[in-house]
Structure 1
Amino acid sequence: MKFLKIALLSATLSCLTFGPFFLAETAAQQTTYPVMIQLDLKDETIQATPVLATEQRVIMLGRDGRMWDFAPQSASNFVQLATSFRPLPQFEMRGDLLAEFGNGYDVTGTGNYLVVHPAGQKDAWASQFEKLFRSFHRYFAARGIHLQRNEFPLVAVVFPDFRSYQEYAAKDGMRVSPGLVGYYSSLTNRVALYDVTHGNHDNPAWSDNMATIIHEATHQTAFNTGVHSRYAPQPKWMVEGLATMFEAPGVWDSHNHATLRDRVNKTRMLEFLEYAKTRRPANSMAQFIATDDAYYKRPATAYGEGWAMVFYLIETRPREFAAYVRKVAARSADQDYTAEERLRDFQSAFGSNFDQLEAHFLRYITDLPNKM
């Protein structure tokens, strides 16, 4: 595993600049970094390591997995510390979380997770996140995709009600409604959600909690194991398509749900089939892959199409899908991801004949109901 190469051009820094530092190379995951920097950013002092440092943009990674992305002139009091950067061990992060959330919450550690939850509700939450993490690993290992080890303990925060969740989300810069039960933040590297049952886990609405855990923990695991990059732009169809694919019991719990029927996300399949039958433009696969526009212009149909694309590719062309995932995740953080580059990366894995690929794709998804 290679180190980030950061060149120190001068020991004397001008007041508000990162000019003496530049990033020569970046990678999706690291375990050791050469330097730790302390600086003041807005109203906080941070200690972190540079992931990217240019004249226009700085990305820094904290010891708890938090990421800061800012313009260099917004920082001050920059100093290189004598100690090397190391991720916080789980016991230290647990103490920090207990201090942050205070009375009324417990913090339960599993093999890979630290779950902050209402006091006394360990059994309801912690094991669910860990189970999803392990099933994610098994699923990709079976398809020849080697996942990297997560550098940091993964943090999930469960709030007892919408109000406390809403207040926390506002600090993340997130505007949430009761219908948005949870989210993953690539900046904090945390999942946050609220308990829609208010502690009554026999309530049928508990299924909404579970669906949120599956979707958002899939995002979190993918961004922390090298499937996606936290630093470089990633195609939204792939990110959301993967998360919606994992919502199906046959994907996240294949031991108890082993059939093709179980692997199909029926809601997303029906969404896409209706869209394909009535409104989807012909020969539109390339456009869907090239930009994220569909998720902002027609979200009601984009999520179904993203699910269909990922499900088709990983079910029928897993080796090519693995190559594509690796290529996209390895992109440099200092590069935009243009439509032309997105199409070129896709074609390098799946071929350049979009007409043929789209025909196979539509035939496969359209025929799924007959196989279930």
Structure 2
Amino acid sequence: MLAERARNRGHSVRHLEKPTNRGIARRIARSSVLVLSAATCICRVHAATTPAIELKTAKTAVVGRIVSRDKRVCWILNSRGELNQVVLSEVESFRKTATRFRPLSTMEVRDQLVREYGREYDVAGRGRYLVVAPRGRAKEYAKLFDGVYRSFRAYFSVRGFQIDEPEFPLIALVFPDRKTFNAYCHKDGITAVSGLRGYYLATTNRIALYDPGVTSIGLGTTPTPNRTDRDPSRWRPEIGRGTMFARLQGSLQDTIIHEATHQIAFNAGLHAREGGTPVWVIEGLGCVFESPGIRDAAKSRNRDAMTRINRLRYVRFQSRFVGAKPVALLRSFVGGDQMYQARTLDAYAYGWALTFFLTETRPTEYARYLRKVASRDPLTAYTQDARLSDFRNAFGDDVDRLETEFLRYFKQLK
């Protein structure tokens, strides 16, 4: 009944008393969920016809489209493409602000960025990207980001998989020095650990990095081989603060390519921005696109897979897993993220190898698997059994046989 009244009133406001005890808080949460259920159902059918709503708490007001919710929290996407988490027991009032949610246009977002960063920065647009960078550098960076985007789409298109167009402009911030970058990290709630060169934050939907004084950048350069990947659990916040994917050490170009791959994948419907996607799925794809051969249109169609390998990951995988005594790892790797915490460099190599193997030998099944993982409820725990079930549904019930084929593939890849 409450949900029906809210729909009929359109823009009218339904005010709720501020909770004074747990009982009232629970009633408010239940009332909010009724209205949010209607909005969420519409959202899943067609985003273009989803209403925009406003939720007010004692501290803030959030306006946008609901993308997911449960009895405790909901995630709202605002017109700039930023995700906000709202605890339903804290909601004091809610209303529908528009019958249709409308994202800001590229020009509107560009104007906001110009006002936000002032005269010391330029804002350049190219393709789907808007890049904020020190004066005189933005166009060069925008060209590189756009190149990654085009390569990403082409790679999947060649394999018969059309990815979604981003709903919002893709924003990248390039700061002039470490000090300015660190200040922005603090604003995002990110600890600027030593060696952090850049990151993509799923809640703001922005890439942030800094220019260490490189005079030129381009897609054709060979990636730096002396990168150091650290334990993701140290720098990736929990879902309440937003999911962050970072690049530590390595060249500026490496950072741009890796973080742009994350950003594009999250905005192309391959990963869920609210969280829950296995680390190997996210980082494996990021590592695949580090290879210049993947981004080269001619090599991406070449029958010789060696032209597309990530050499750094390939060498480690060969030495640590292929040449060693076979150990059944695929089930535990797919079922959890523990290796990324206990054996980080090995996990990055294994994740790259598994992703490369699946995209090269089973592109249709891999695409279907990405869609399945991205479409699941991100607020529901993704258990080991559930992960393995989705993996089996995509690639077959016999995981042990697949692992044998996986290792044989790399024994023959020379």
Q: Aligned in 2, Cα 1:249/1:169: closer, same or farther, shift over 3 Å?
A: same
Q: Aligned in 2, Cα 1:317/1:205: closer, same or farther, shift over 3 Å?
A: closer
* Alignment partner, residue 156 of structure 1: 172
Deviates more, 1:146-155 or 1:23-32: 23-32
**d(CA) in 2 for partners of 1:202, 1:138:** 21
* Alignment partner, residue 140 of structure 1: 156
Q: Aligned in 2, Cα 1:123/1:229: closer, same or farther, shift over 3 Å?
A: same
Normalised TM-score (structure 2): 0.80
> Which residue identity lines up with residue 325 of structure 1 in the other structure?
L
* Alignment partner, residue 239 of structure 2: none
- Residue 255 of structure 2 corresponds to residue 241 of structure 1: no
**d(CA) in 1 for partners of 2:44, 2:266:** 9
* Alignment partner, residue 4 of structure 1: none
Which residues in structure 2 correspond to 1:191-340 (within 5 Å)? 191-197=207-213, 200-201=215-216, 208-231=251-274, 233-255=276-298, 258=302, 259-276=304-321, 282-340=327-385
**Matched pairs, number:** 362
* Alignment partner, residue 100 of structure 1: 116
**d(CA) in 2 for partners of 1:129, 1:225:** 15
**d(CA) in 1 for partners of 2:123, 2:57:** 28
**d(CA) in 2 for partners of 1:165, 1:266:** 30
1:14 to 16, 20, 25: 16
Q: Aligned in 2, Cα 1:177/1:41: closer, same or farther, shift over 3 Å?
A: farther
Write out per-residue CA displacement over residues 79-124 of structure 1, whole angstroms, 9 at most, x where no aligned residue: 3214531000011101111111223111111121111111111332
1:68 to 84, 88, 102: 84
1:228–1:234 CA contact under 8 A, matched in 2:
yes
> Which residue identity lines up with residue 115 of structure 2 in the other structure?
A
**d(CA) in 1 for partners of 2:171, 2:65:** 20
Which residues in structure 2 correspond to 1:122-137 (within 5 Å)? 122-137=138-153
> Which residue identity lines up with residue 57 of structure 1 in the other structure?
V
* Alignment partner, residue 186 of structure 2: 170
Identity of aligned residues (%): 37
**d(CA) in 1 for partners of 2:286, 2:58:** 34
**Counterpart of 2:36 in 1: which secondary structure?**
strand
**Counterpart of 1:108 in 2: which secondary structure?**
strand
**d(CA) in 1 for partners of 2:271, 2:314:** 24
Q: Aligned in 2, Cα 1:280/1:167: closer, same or farther, shift over 3 Å?
A: farther
Q: CA deviation at 1:213?
A: 1.0
2:68 to 40, 44, 52: 52
- Residue 401 of structure 2 corresponds to residue 356 of structure 1: yes
**Counterpart of 2:167 in 1: which secondary structure?**
coil
**Counterpart of 2:119 in 1: which secondary structure?**
coil
**Counterpart of 1:359 in 2: which secondary structure?**
helix
Write out per-residue CA displacement over residues 56-90 of structure 1, whole angstroms, 9 at most, x where no aligned residue: 11100010110012322344443321453100001
**Counterpart of 1:230 in 2: which secondary structure?**
coil
RMSD of Structure 2 on Structure 1 (CA): 2.6
**d(CA) in 1 for partners of 2:158, 2:43:** 24
> Which residue identity lines up with residue 249 of structure 1 in the other structure?
P
- Residue 196 of structure 2 corresponds to residue 180 of structure 1: yes
Provide structure 1 residue ranges, at least 5 long, that are not aligned to the other structure.
1-6
**d(CA) in 2 for partners of 1:225, 1:70:** 24
Write out per-residue CA displacement over residues 151-190 of structure 1, whole angstroms, 9 at most, x where no aligned residue: 0011011111111111111221211235221111110011
Between Structure 1 and Structure 2, which shows a larger proportion of helix residues?
2
**d(CA) in 2 for partners of 1:266, 1:118:** 33
**Counterpart of 1:170 in 2: which secondary structure?**
helix
**Counterpart of 1:267 in 2: which secondary structure?**
helix
**d(CA) in 2 for partners of 1:27, 1:272:** 42
Normalised TM-score (structure 1): 0.89
> Which residue identity lines up with residue 255 of structure 2 in the other structure?
T
